[in-house]
Amino acid sequence: AQSVTQPDIHITVSEGASLELRCNYSYGATPYLFWYVQSPGQGLQLLLKYFSGDTLVQGIKGFEAEFKRSQSSFNLRKPSVHWSDAAEYFCAVGPHNQAGTALIFGKGTTLSVSS
C-alpha cells in the first residue's frame, strides 16, 4: 500500500539551529516527492519537489531535501531556522507516470521555534 510516514509529530528547535524533518514513503513505482508548509491561518504552500535527477533539491525559504532511494526517505533540512519557520510541514508522494492521480500526504510535523 502507498503511504507516507512523518515520524515526528512535533519538533522544537532553537532559532538559528539546524533542522531536519523526516519523511519515509512506501510506493510501488518511482515517485514524485513534495514538501508543503502550512503556516498558521494560511493555506498550504509548496516548498520543494523532486522528480528526477539530482537527489538534493533546493526549495524556497532556504529549505532543501534529499531523496534517498535506498532508504525510501525524503528528509527536509534547513541550516539555520528562523522564527517565521514555525508552521506545520507535510511530506507528500505522487505517481511518476500517471497524470493527475491524487497526492498522498503524511500526517504532518509541527515545528515550533524557540528564542
Binding site for other proteins (CB under 8 A): 6, 9, 32, 34, 36, 42-46, 49, 51, 90, 92, 94-108
Report CA 21 to chain centroid distance, whole Å: 7
- Encode 41-55: b = buried (16+ Cβ within 10 Å), e = exposed: eeeeeebbbbeeeee
For residue 106, the minimal CB distance to other proteins (Å) is 6
Q: Rank residues 13 and 50 by Cβ distance to other proteins and give the closer one.
A: 50
For residue 45, the minimal CB distance to other proteins (Å) is 8
CA distance 58 to 49: 8
Q: Rank residues 52 and 115 by Cβ distance to other proteins and give the closer one.
A: 52
User: Residue 70, CB half-sphere, CA atoms under 13 Å: how many?
Assistant: 0
Q: Judge whether 106 and 8 are in contact, CB under 8 Å.
A: no
* DSSP β-bridge partners for residue 30: none
Q: Rank residues 19 and 103 by Cβ distance to other proteins and give the closer one.
A: 103
For residue 115, the minimal CB distance to other proteins (Å) is 26
Q: Rank residues 3 and 80 by Cβ distance to other proteins and give the closer one.
A: 3
* DSSP β-bridge partners for residue 83: none
For residue 36, the minimal CB distance to other proteins (Å) is 8
